[in-house]
Amino acid sequence: MPQYILSIDQGTTGTTALLIDSGGMVVGKVNKEYRQIFPRPGWVEHDPEDIWASVVATIKALLAKTGVKPQDIAGIGITNQRETVVLWERQTHRPVYNAIVWQCRRTTEFCEKLRAKGLSKMIAKKTGLVIDPYFSGSKIRWILENVSGARARAVRGELAVGTIDSFLTWRLTGGEAHVTDVSNASRTMLMNIEKGEWDAELLKLFSVPQAILPAIVSSSGEVGRTKNVPGLPDGIPIAGMAGDQQAALFGQMCFSAGDAKCTFGTGSFLLMNTGEKRVASKSGLLTTVAWRLKGDKRLTYALEGGAFICGAAVQWLRDGLKIIKTSAEVEALASEVPDAGGVEFVPALTGLGAPHWQPDARGLICGLTRGSTAAHIARATLDAMALQNLDILLAMQKDLGKKLRSLKVDGGATADNLLMQLQADYLGQAIERPRMTESTSLGAAFLAGLGVGLWRDQNELKKIWHLDHKFEPRLPKKMRDTRVAAWHSAIERATN
């Protein structure tokens, strides 16, 4: 009997494939980075063929590494960079344009026009989102408007569009399944999150024909089976799908209202489960769909705040400034100094996300003196990663009217103990890091495992989660307040 789940985590800078056994343990993991394409300042693209090639390569390498036979895979779970969109030909499966990445700001002008028309309240009520180039709707419109013949072909039914979960499922099933799950659909700005359906008024507003959109399905449950995938037999169920942040929320066992997590990836994202209740934010946060499980008509919602640049700031220190050779070196470099020495780094390299929503803001390094060193810039970078999350959490607490007791963390940067301690210090509350920090991949695997019956229910899954370390705040409140005030002053400079 098949006892493994293959989890495909298709991220912004690379693809990770994991095999997870029935005990919830990671049997093997392979990651492959791929090209980042920057055609103009503020524009970010990926070649969908690069993405697909990275998926095929990681699966092949993972099976070779672990020795697991493909026929022992019970199901496949997919989690993905969420708002990134691809438009492709139904007949050939080929994309008609590069994927437009969630970080891309090319639709800023169109989004400003929507705001100027006074549509913010209507869109927020239907979608839980703020009008911003971040989301998929304006990106789809841009491709249809700017790729020769795309709109006419879309109307004729020759093209299909979707977020990366849709594109991968299409490829994995040989074009037999054109679907997206409710969590990814909720990030397009085209779905009514009360009904869990595409919204005719929004489709008209963004000039998106419904015929090119995928069917909206639950996050757990079979949606198709593999067909003609290199290295895999036909017939493996694709049974779990969720956007990366919702998958991490699920992987962290945040199943109850009030449970929260923060994922440190390319960006950083705080999500809090609000149960069946939609909490409308008054503080610049998003209301999003967390998931819908197999056999359940009810949607689970979450409050979300995200910073566009988190781990990407460390990559910039490595690739742009070249003050470190590997991302892992940032902790040692930042530890050479007791603090940032007055240096502030606002990593608005692709604008500012929640709760500021300033798409035109740009990065800022200030407070430099003759005594400033690379170590101070590294420390200011870690400070910024933590302080961005503080702003989001403060907004979240304001909306909820209560303070969190603790926060679960995951993602690659959580291996940085200094960053985790800074996060606890600036939040003024405990940070819990699990033994397995691959929460995004685990969440997709758990959804797929529930979908194929490898695990019975969420209570069975809870036995799998184990604490690695709890970071308690050490910084006195007065020092914390002073540090936060300096950060907010720098934010003002970056946005004015």
Q: What number is the average pLDDT over the span 71-100?
A: 96
Is 48 within a domain? yes
Is the confidence at residue 464, as pLDDT, over 90? Answer: no
Q: Which two tokens stand for residue 264?
A: 């440190």
What angle in degrees, to the nearest 10, is found between the helix axes of 477-495 and 374-400? 100
| Torsion sign across C-alpha atoms 325, 331, 334, 340 | positive
CATH number, domain of 21, equals 3.30.420.40
Question: Amino acid identity, residue 408?
Answer: K
Residue 396's pLDDT band, with cuts at 50, 70 and 90, is confident
Which of the pair, 400 or 260, is modelled with greater confidence?
Answer: 260
Is the confidence at residue 1, as pLDDT, over 80? Answer: no
Model pTM? 0.86
User: What's the mean pLDDT when you consider all of the chain?
Assistant: 93
Is 377 within a domain? no
Is 289 within a domain? no
Indicate the range of 153-167, 314-328, 377-391, 394-408 predicted with least confidence.
394-408
- The model's pLDDT over 71-80, given as tens digits with 9 standing for 90+, comes to 999 999 999 9
- The model's pLDDT over 202-218, given as tens digits with 9 standing for 90+, comes to 999 999 999 999 999 99
Is the confidence at residue 245, as pLDDT, over 80? Answer: yes
Is 43 within a domain? yes
- Which residue segment(s) compose the domain that 54 sits in? 4-245
Residue 343's pLDDT band, with cuts at 50, 70 and 90, is very high
Q: What percent of the chain has pLDDT over 70?
A: 100
Q: Is the peptide bond before 355 cis (omega within 30 degrees of 0)?
A: yes
Question: What's the residue count for the chain?
Answer: 496
Is 430 within a domain? no
Is 111 within a domain? yes
The distance of Cα 265 from the centroid of its chain, to the nearest Å, equals 8
Domain count, the chain: 1
Q: What number is the average pLDDT over the span 325-332?
A: 93
Q: What number is the average pLDDT over the span 344-364?
A: 87
Is 154 within a domain? yes
Q: Tell me, what's the pLDDT at 412?
A: 83
Is 404 within a domain? no
Q: Tell me, what's the pLDDT at 466?
A: 87
Residue 365's pLDDT band, with cuts at 50, 70 and 90, is very high
Q: List all residues 6 or more positions away from 37 whose beta carbon is below 8 Å from its beta carbon.
A: 44, 45, 46, 47, 98
